[in-house]
Amino acid sequence: MNTNPNPTGAQMLARSLRIKDMTLDALREYPQGRGDDMLLYVHILRKHYWRRVHVQTKPRLIIDYGAFENFLMTPSFETVRRRRQEWQAKYEELRPSVRVRHKRQRLQDAMTHDLSTGQYTVSDFMG
């Protein structure tokens, strides 16, 4: 009997591949998640981890893992975000809408400009 609580390399790789597949499925069936990482993450938690995690969205977002063990058994937000980026780089049809891409570009341009000048304006972030 293995009493070591740490996963083996093979187990970690298998889990990573499952999360990658879950993210691909979510991007295909839930287009709103293509431009919003939190929506994508909540969709994956609700679809695949509903026995471990309770997600409440109204009146505000609450993710209740119950026990710490449940928290450890679910993918992190950052892992899902990275897998989304991988899939969107590979498949153009999974990329966010033009509106979302323009908004992200404006924010990036504003940050680049403002970091060089030390100034921020509200209009740089509106759109």
Per-residue pLDDT of the chain (127 residues; tens, 9 = 90+): 556 667 788 888 888 899 999 999 999 999 999 999 999 999 999 999 999 999 998 999 999 999 998 898 899 999 999 999 999 999 999 998 888 888 888 888 887 776 666 566 666 666 5
Burial of 56-68, coded b for 16+ CB within 10 Å and e otherwise, reads: eeeeeeebebeee
Q: Quick check: 38 and 61 in contact, CB under 8 A? A: yes
Distance of alpha carbon 51 from alpha carbon 65, whole angstroms: 10
Here the tokens at position 51 are 């026995």
Q: Domain residue spans in the chain?
A: 10-96, 97-127
Distance of alpha carbon 64 from alpha carbon 95, whole angstroms: 30
